[in-house]
Structure 1
Amino acid sequence: MKPIDFRSDTVTKPTPAMRRLIADAEVGDDVYGEDPTVRRLEERVAERLGLEAAVFVPSGTQANQIAIGVHCRSGDEVLTEEGSHILHYEGGAVPALWGVQPAPLPGERGILKPETVAAAVREENIHNPRTRLLSLENTHNRGGGTVWPVDRFRAVVEAGRKAGLAVHLDGARLFNAQVAAGKPASAWASLTDSTAVCFSKGLGAPVGSALAGKADVIREARRLRKRLGGGMRQAGILAAAALYALEHHVERLAEDHANARRLAEGLAQVPGVKVDLSRVETNMVFADLVRPAAEASALLLKQGVLANPTGPHSIRLVCHLDVSKADIDDALARIRQALAS
């Protein structure tokens, strides 16, 4: 039985064409700035995001943390939505690495309101941390793969700017937002001081992210990348895969979105499963279950369907490059059988 893996879009394998490009990549020492493939990738990312420069890093977590380190100093505060990746999935790095205090703000499926941001900025007072940074996330993972409307994003950024904040965007799945909204990634990224994008999620590369921003931000980012051990040598081997993904795997994200919709509609017909179809905007499906999520995940695993619990009675299923339309139909049949037991 072929496993069908919905745990994350990080589980994809490099395609044969991507592997060939990896094998043939022109390389040099990137710490010395001598890897031409890395340089080409960084230029391409900056251009696509409408920002001045970019730096290639090993992971999305490192990209976000470098941005926080650039924009903040010890004792400062970063505002972010309460379900954000930097709060829940980066190992407590914000205070551990930088001595920066995160301030979680209530949002709706990951989307903030301008007035929420404005109200959260602290007045200058010796008792208060200095609010320095607003960190946003698009698409929003825990929100359900939610896409920020560009007008709302702009309004929230403007609220931060009015209060003197720098703005960072965790755009790990920004290209999913681009495809879903029919707008270029730069529609969001160009409004920020820094934006992180990931190549090893929906784009299907094996490793890597990039942090883009203003030239002075990226100069300092290179220093912090070195400090965090992210300075790689002949990294063009990895950058080649990211370049291929950027050129060939962005528009095909629409297939993942269509598959997620098909999966959600099928799951909504399974007894004991509830899916809010209005929440399925990109490649993620969140399902609420009558039975405990851990029990359901174990039953699904016996049928070769892998999905992660996200709460006591909820699971997340993520569509990606290695899940086809036929796999969706096969998975639905297996899920019905598993949950009927």
Structure 2
Amino acid sequence: MAYIVDMRSDTVTKPTKAMKHAMVNSALGDDVFGEDPTVNALESKVATLLGKQAALFVPSGTMANLIAIMVHCNKRGSEAIVGRESHIFQYEQGGSAHLAGVLLHPMKNNPDGTFDLAEVESLIRGSDVHEPITSLVCIENTHNKCGGKVLPLKWLDECAALCKRHSIPLHVDGARLLNASAHLEVAPERLVRDCDTVYICFSKGLSAPVGSALAGSYHFIEQARRMRKMLGGGMRQAGVLAAAALVALEEVAPRLPLDHKRAFRLAKVIEGLFLKSFSVDVANQHTNIVLVRIAAASALSADAVLQRLEQVCLAETQGDCKTTNDEGVIVKGIPFDNKTIRLTTHNDISDEDLWLAIMKITYVFKELDAAHPF
């Protein structure tokens, strides 16, 4: 069988041995009653880590974002300003409108994940009876669709100051906030110092099987707990899951710089192939997400390239071109659009896995570049 290097996402990781041990041996209680000691310990740890008064363990990041929007935008006719490329706008099924009755006002994202703050200020509405009420600004750090970019500290400070001037809460989709912290070498608390609410994800990059934590003020978390119950996110003996998240913070979070180094190595190799069809922005490679751009003039598509990466040709190892799945290497990635491929490093990608992926990608990219000149 072919050896598979799965780089589709940092969510494909398996729990570590320490996580499995902690899950089996965790102290448990009914978390809806606030009686699960492991969940309580996790929430306390996350609140301290992020410099907030309290935190709430939830099943997913999508629910964390939805809860934040529901609590902050609690008047009918509210809107939230978000990036056009944000996870909230792109990948959460319009839940803000469908479930919370909140209008999303999308802003154009810059390549680094930021957006124009002067434009944000000009878009703030609510004084006119014809308009919705701007009740929230949401940002994403790191920014997934912009290639795992880390938002600049100066921009974060300016964004928070703008929101405070207008008394508008600022929420951070921090699914990969700890990656941002590792890249900038500053504490997570600093990244969200002036933000009202933030969530972090334990199953993206941290190898836990499931779960996120939403943090904010005592009052916010009190309201968030009500929203979690209404959405069906009230779990009972949830310490089984929280135990893995605690291990993730202690064991896996410190290893995130290794994921970043491996992603940078991969990006450098692809850049060093000097192919017309494929490019990577190495200069702005921040964290564990590598975006491979396919030249607009090329006939190649992201789907076609990914299909080839999942095929094994005997020429790769034996010099004879017959398609087989009995040996060789398969690399899995995902398409972001017709001309963009995402490859993601994570805790289950070792140096050997990376080397095998590089060999496969090099072979396939050269093959496709030669077969599709333009």
Query: Shorter-chain-normalised TM-score: which range?
Result: over 0.9
Q: Which residue of 2 aligns with 1:107?
A: 109
In the alignment, residue 139 of structure 1 is paired with which amino acid? T
Percent of aligned pairs with the same amino acid: 43
Partner of 2:80: 78
Q: Say whether the 8 Å CA contact 1:113–1:152 is kept in structure 2.
A: no
* Contact in 2 for aligned 1:115/1:159 (Cα 8 Å): no
SS in 2 for 1:249: helix
Deviation sequence 1:173-206 (CA, Å, 0-9, x none): 0000000001111112231111011000111100
Instruction: Give per-residue Cα distances to partners, 1:53-103, cap 9 Å, x unaligned.
Output: 000000000000000000003310101111111000111101001111111
Q: 1:310 aligned to 2:339?
A: no
What amino acid is the match of 1:178?
S
8 Å contact from structure 2 (residues 181, 191) kept in 1: no
Tell me the amino acid that sits aligned with residue 107 of structure 1. N
**Equivalent position of 1:320 in the other structure:** 346
1:69 and 2:95 aligned: no
- The residue aligned with 1:41 is 42
> In the alignment, residue 311 of structure 1 is paired with which amino acid?
D
Please tell me whether the aligned partners of residues 112 and 156 of structure 1 are also in contact (alpha carbons under 8 angstroms).
Answer: no
1:153-191 Cα shifts (integer Å, max 9, x gaps)? 011111112112111110000000000001111112231
Distance 1:112 1:314 in 2: 21
* Cα distance in 1 for residues equivalent to 2:123 and 2:353: 45
Deviations 1:78-136 (A, max 9, x none): 01111111000111101001111111112312112331221121250110000000011
1:180-235: per-residue Cα shift (whole Å, max 9, x none)?
00111111223111101100011110000000001100000000000000000000
Aligned-partner Cα distance in 2 for 1:242–1:52: 19
Q: Which moved more, 1:131-140 or 1:159-168?
A: 159-168
Gaps of 5+ in 2: 313-329, 369-374
CA distance in 1, matches of 2:338, 2:272: 21
Aligned mate of 2:163, from 156, 160, 163? 160
The answer (yes or no) to whether the contact 1:54–1:211 under 8 Å persists in 2 is yes
Q: What is the 5 A alignment of 1:190-269?
A: 190-269=193-272
1:226–1:123 CA distance, 2 compared to 1 (3 A): closer
Q: What is the aligned partner in structure 2 of residue 276 from structure 1? A: 281
Work out the CA distance in 1 between the residues paired with 2:251 and 2:194.
Answer: 26
Query: Contact (CA 8 Å) 2:30, 2:36: kept in 1 or not?
Result: yes
Q: Secondary structure at the match of 2:304?
A: helix
Q: Name the SS of the counterpart of 1:157 in structure 2.
A: helix
Deviation of the 1:273 alpha carbon: 1.4
Q: How does 1:2-13 map to 2 (within 5 A)?
A: 2-13=3-14
Within a 5 Å distance, the mapping from 1:17-36 to structure 2 comes to 17-36=18-37
1:134 equivalent to 2:160? Answer no
**Letter matched to residue 348 of structure 2:** D
Contact 1:300 1:338 in 2 (8 A): yes
Secondary structure of 1:317's aligned partner = strand
Q: Give the AA of the match of 1:329.
A: W
Larger gyration radius, structure 1 or structure 2: 2
Question: Does the alignment pair 1:287 with 2:313?
Answer: no
The answer for the alignment partner of 1:88 in structure 2 is 90
Contact 1:117–1:156 at 8 Å: present in 2 too?
no
Q: Which position in structure 1 is the counterpart of 2:317?
A: none
* Farther off after superposition, 129-138 or 324-333: 324-333
Moved more, 108-117 or 278-287: 108-117
Equivalent residue runs for 1:325-340 within 5 Å: 325-339=351-365, 340=367
Whole-Å separation in 1 of the counterparts to 2:202 and 2:76: 30
Q: How far, CA to CA, are the matches of 2:116 and 2:364 in structure 1?
A: 41
- Distance, in Å, in 1 between the alignment partners of 2:125 and 2:37 is 44
Secondary structure of residue in 2 paired with 1:238:
helix
Q: Secondary structure at the match of 1:320?
A: coil
Give unpaired runs (5+ residues) of structure 1: none
1:244 to partner: Cα distance? 0.3
Which secondary structure state, in structure 2, belongs to the residue aligned with residue 243 of structure 1? helix
Normalized against structure 2, the TM-score is what? 0.89
Which of 97, 100, 119 in structure 2 is aligned with 1:98?
100
